[in-house]
Amino acid sequence: MTSATLATAVPARRGNGWVRSLALLIHWELLSMRIALPMVVAVQSVVGVGSVLAIGLWFDQVPPGAGLYVTTGGATMSLIIVGLVMGPQLIASQRMRGTYDFLWSLPTQRSAAAGAWVVVALVATAPALVATVAVGALVYDLDLSISPMVVPAVVLTAVTATMIGYALAHGVTNPTLVSMATQVLIFVVFGFSPILFPGRNLPGWIDSVHQWLPVASMADIVRASLTTGLVTDVGRAYVVVVTWLGLCAAIAAVVLTRRK
């Protein structure tokens, strides 16, 4: 995939050009990640399935809700991790290798590059997602009612998490700082958000803060699409997630289109 090929293949005009850019960039990203991708999929799966199984060790008798929470929450964690952690790490390593500047020099639209990354992120997470839910359902004998809403919920969560990661990675230029920030973020999201366990387990003020942060709402929309009757106020959760998506996409757009 040379820039010459791309230059002749992508006329710089709207409509048809954008889709073609997207397709070519997805191809490019997948190719450039072809060695790392299996590793990423493996690690995601181990983390997702591992978390689901670990809960069984922590309880004497796993309470009925806990299995459901950790399975549906585990799925959300995979999506959040790939967007919030993998994305910035990839961008940081691209900066170091010079790939970052190369990508931006290509005659493709920047929004197409962002879109390509989102698609690749979804591809990278899908196996882990399925594995986590399947193993959880099996081990905890869960009665999941998977609705068609799972598609928009998963896609929306992935896109929003990716946009947040994008805003972080492009806004903060120091790769070490980005790496540290993402590690801390994952720790905080993992342990201090009502994703893997119900909000009532958290101190009141933390639970309240999560009404405005995106991660709890992401967990809610994914959980609602996999269960019935467990989540209240799904509509509000969708609004929160979409709002954060808009906010971070705007930040990313500003950061990406500014000239160095």
Partner 1 sequence: MTGLPVAAGVERVAVTAPAAGPAWWLRSYRLLLRRDLIELRLQLVTILIIQIFMGAGMAVIYGFMLGDLPPIRTIYVATGAPVLALVPVGAVMLPGITAQRKAEGSQDFLWSLPVPHTASAAATCTAFTAAALPGAVLAMVAAGLRYDLDLSVSVLVVPAVLLGALVMSAIGYGIGHAVEDPQRTNLYTNLVIFGVLMFSPISFPIEQFPDWLASVHRVLPVYHVATIIRAGLTDGVVTDTAVSFAVVAAWTVAGWALAFRAIASRR
Nearer to partner 1, 50 or 152 (CB): 50
Binding residues vs partner 1 (CB under 8 A): 46-47, 50-51, 54-55, 57-60, 63, 66, 187, 190-192, 196-198, 200-202
* CA distances in angstroms from 86 to 73, 105, 149, listed in the order given: 19, 23, 25
Nearer to partner 1, 72 or 108 (CB): 72
Q: How far is the CB of 15 from partner 1 (least distance, A)?
A: 45
Q: How far is the CB of 152 from partner 1 (least distance, A)?
A: 29
Q: How far is the CB of 29 from partner 1 (least distance, A)?
A: 23
Q: How far is the CB of 146 from partner 1 (least distance, A)?
A: 25
CA–CA separation, 89 and 175 (whole Å): 8
Nearer to partner 1, 175 or 198 (CB): 198
Q: How far is the CB of 164 from partner 1 (least distance, A)?
A: 21
Nearer to partner 1, 50 or 235 (CB): 50
Nearer to partner 1, 103 or 196 (CB): 196
